[in-house]
Structure 1
Amino acid sequence: MDRMRLSGPDIGITPKPGGRGVVGMPVYMWTRKSAETYGPNTASASAGAVTVTATARVTQIVWNMGDGNSVTCTTAGTPYEASFGKAPSPDCGYRYSQPSTSQPAGTYHVTATSTWTVDWNGGGQSGQLTETRDSAVDINVGEVQVLN
């Protein structure tokens, strides 16, 4: 495990940090896939005649949305594209019901926590470990009011 670099998600989210989302509109969440942020990540170590190989993969990402709710995703998520319009994310999404101005900092602090499952074998033995890593961003979500 010491030879692996296991990181928290490389967060992709709409609205982008620094941008502004709208209450009720779909929020897409994803991580960019790499060996360090999603896996698989494989490393081996030897001591004498024994070699142990471990492979780590993210099995879930829990997104704490900053408003008291969380979303558990079992995929890396789908990056948002403008052609998706108002369609919800097919695999990892959310909708805010309140603007972020309701928060003390005026933003939602979104934390994504990856659970890494590490399978190892060597020396006639095998096993499984889990590790967690997290990353965070702040996003703005506004409210649109329509008058007749």
Structure 2
Amino acid sequence: MNSFADEGPRGSGGVHCTKYTCQVEVLAPGQPGASQTDSSGGTEGSSSSDAGDSENKNVCTYKLVDPQPPAGSLDWEGHEPGDGAVYEQTCGWGGLDGDTIVRMVWLAEPPEQETIAPVVLAQRAVDSMALLGPDIASPRVAGRYTVGVPMWMWVNQSATTYGPNTASASAGGVTVTAIAKVSKIVWQMGDGSSVTCVGPGTPYKGSSDMAESPTCGHRYSKTSADAPGGRYSVTATSTWTIDWQGGGQSGQLEEIRQSDTQVAVGELQVVR
């Protein structure tokens, strides 16, 4: 096997080989020199081009462990209780919304942490709720409705379609909890009129006969014969009101969701 040697100055970087190994020296502007040795005869290099890329930086948050680990725990890293403190460290490359690593670390002083506004955490909590539009129970697509006859409108209730729905989000030692509930539903009836209901509506019972709905209803004055497809397009739009608190603050957010259905409205046929 031949032996090669770089005759250039060692302080300027380059390749330096002996009989079995090669050493690579890489000098980056403004950076101290670095070298790595590949004992197999190959070479390795490293790049620091991402060092100034803010989008790729490692983002970490810390939460004080409470209660602290007992004396002698490995989490103290050889220190005694009272000498600094043990924290739960959560780190994510480029942010905390993707893959993260969680571990216990000892720190001599409380860490500086990225400040995240509580309202931002509140929105994260809301986004995790997967809120939906109204789950329309009535009017039904298969139903037959009549001009002048009271229509009762109501929705099925669940955590994602009506509430209440509760979720939390945490970052930087701050936790925000949000509670969402539908505060009103506005029904666009397809005939140019709208109805605003502040509750889910009242399910119809056969014993109610021709009575008006006590909470949410409508009465059509003309048939849907001239509407596209012979049916009125009905849209129910819910307003979600979200109350949140955490990080010493509180506030309210609003989300809008909607659902659609089709309604056939005919005339009462009189048999003589």
Aligned to 1:46: 170
The answer to whether 1:134 aligns with 2:258 is yes
Aligned to 1:28: 152
TM-score (structure 2 length as normaliser): 0.52
1:4 aligns with 2:112: no
The alignment's TM-score, normalised by the length of structure 1, stands at 0.94
Shift, 1:147, TM fit? 7.0
SS in 1 for 2:207: helix
Amino acid at match of 1:71: V
Equivalent runs, 1:82-121 vs 2, <5 Å: 82-121=206-245
Give matches, 1:41-80, under 5 Å: 41-80=165-204
Deviations 1:78-115 (Å, cap 9, x if unpaired)? 11122211111000000000001021221011100000
Question: What percentage of residue pairs aligned between the two structures are identical?
Answer: 61
RMSD over aligned CA atoms reads 1.3
Alpha-carbon distance between aligned partners in 2 of 1:147 and 1:37, rounded to the nearest angstrom: 43
Per the TM alignment, residue 48 of structure 1 is displaced from its structure 2 partner at its CA by 2.8
Question: Deviations for 1:30-55, whole angstroms, at most 9, x for unmatched residues?
Answer: 11111111111010011131000001
Q: Which amino acid aligns with 2:220?
A: Y
Q: C-alpha distance in 2, partners of 1:34/1:5?
A: 12
The aligned length equals 147
Partner Cα separation in structure 1 for residue 132 and residue 178 of structure 2? 16
Q: Which runs of 4+ in 1 moved over 4 A?
A: none
Q: Distance in 1 between matches of 2:158 and 2:143?
A: 25
Relative contact order, CA 8 A, sep 6+: which one is greater? 1
Runs (5+) with no aligned partner, structure 1:
none
CA–CA distance in structure 2, aligned partners of residues 52 and 104 of structure 1: 47
- Structure 2 distance, partners of 1:62, 1:104, is 22
After superposition, give the CA deviation of every residue in 1:46-79 in whole Å (9 maximum; x if it has no partner).
1131000001111100000011100000011011
2:161 matched residue in structure 1: 37
Which whole-Å CA distance do the structure 2 matches of 1:104 and 1:39 have between them? 34
Provide the secondary structure at the position in 1 that maps to 2:230: coil
Write the distance in 2 (CA, Å) between the matches of 1:17 and 1:90.
22
Give, in whole Å, the separation in 2 of the partners of 1:37 and 1:18. 22
The 2-side partners of 1:139 and 1:43 are apart by: 36
More divergent stretch after superposition (42-51 vs 62-71) = 42-51
State the alpha-carbon separation in 1 of the partners of residues 269 and 229 from structure 2: 22
Partner amino acid, structure 2, of 1:12 = A
